[in-house]
């Protein structure tokens, strides 16, 4: 017996292909959406993680900035204390300088030189006086520059010829001078090195 299919099998096949195509298209679209969502979520997680790191870095930077400000403030306080300490030490060191200056001037003043005024400003002193001759003034400069442990850098500011009245209305030619010099501060003594113990060679601790 011969069977003949009178149904439109070609249309049925096309219908099945269309259904399969749409099914595959829907599956592909769903897979694409799932992959896109997964990628989006992964990137979102990375972004949130990076934002958390950024916030942590900002917080730590703010802490460091505060610590740096504290350190700068401490450094300013230390510098101020050191300046005060230096000022006090200078005052203590300069306390006896006028005494040493007067003693030194008495020692270094040549014969025939007389001082009229002595002015001190910080470590600079200005001497005005009268000498019997210019050679006496030169001798004073040499003494202050070479022989004085408390005075240094003598400088002749001015020397002017003049006259001085002597007994019996007699006049004598003199030299009126102005000399500038600098006081020396005492050098602090170096701390003494402890002597090595008996039987121990020097230079080893």
| pLDDT tens digits for range 79-114 | 888 888 887 777 766 677 788 788 888 888 888 888
| pLDDT tens digits for range 109-139 | 888 888 899 898 888 889 999 998 889 999 9
Is the per-residue pLDDT at 188 higher than 70? no
Average pLDDT of the residues in 162-191:
75
Query: Pick from 187, 205, 188: which is nearest to 197 by CA?
Result: 205
Is the per-residue pLDDT at 140 higher than 80? yes
pLDDT, averaged across the chain? 81
Percent of the chain exceeding pLDDT 70 equals: 80
Q: How far is CA 188 from CA 2, 123, 156, in A?
A: 134, 17, 30
Is the per-residue pLDDT at 204 higher than 50? no
Give burial (CB, 10 Å; 0-12/13-18/19+) of 180.
middle
pLDDT bucket at 54, cuts 50 / 70 / 90 = very high
pTM given for the model: 0.47
pLDDT bucket at 174, cuts 50 / 70 / 90 = confident
Answer whether 138's CB lies under 8 Å from 194's CB.
no
Kind and range of the H or E run holding 1:
none
pLDDT bucket at 205, cuts 50 / 70 / 90 = very low
199 φψ region: left (φ > 0), alpha (ψ -120 to 50), beta (else):
left
């Amino acid at each position: 017996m011969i069977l003949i299919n009178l149904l439109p099998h070609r249309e049925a096949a096309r219908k099945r292909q269309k259904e399969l195509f749409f099914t595959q298209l829907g599956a592909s679209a769903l897979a694409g959406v799932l992959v896109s969502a997964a990628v989006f979520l992964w990137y979102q997680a990375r972004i949130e993680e990076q934002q958390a790191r950024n916030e942590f870095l900002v917080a730590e930077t703010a802490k460091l900035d505060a610590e740096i400000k504290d350190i700068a403030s401490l450094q300013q306080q230390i510098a101020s204390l050191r300046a005060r300490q230096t000022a006090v030490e200078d005052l203590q060191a300069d306390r006896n300088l006028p005494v040493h200056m007067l003693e030194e001037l008495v020692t270094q003043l040549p014969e025939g030189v007389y001082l009229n005024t002595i002015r001190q400003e910080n470590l600079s002193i200005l001497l005005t006086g009268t000498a019997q001759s210019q050679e006496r003034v030169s001798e004073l400069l040499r003494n202050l520059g070479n022989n004085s442990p408390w005075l240094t850098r003598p400088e002749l500011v001015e020397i002017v010829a003049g006259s001085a009245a002597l007994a019996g209305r007699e006049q004598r030619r003199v030299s009126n001078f102005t000399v500038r010099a600098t006081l020396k501060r005492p050098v602090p003594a170096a701390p003494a090195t402890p002597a090595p113990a008996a039987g121990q060679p020097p230079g080893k601790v």
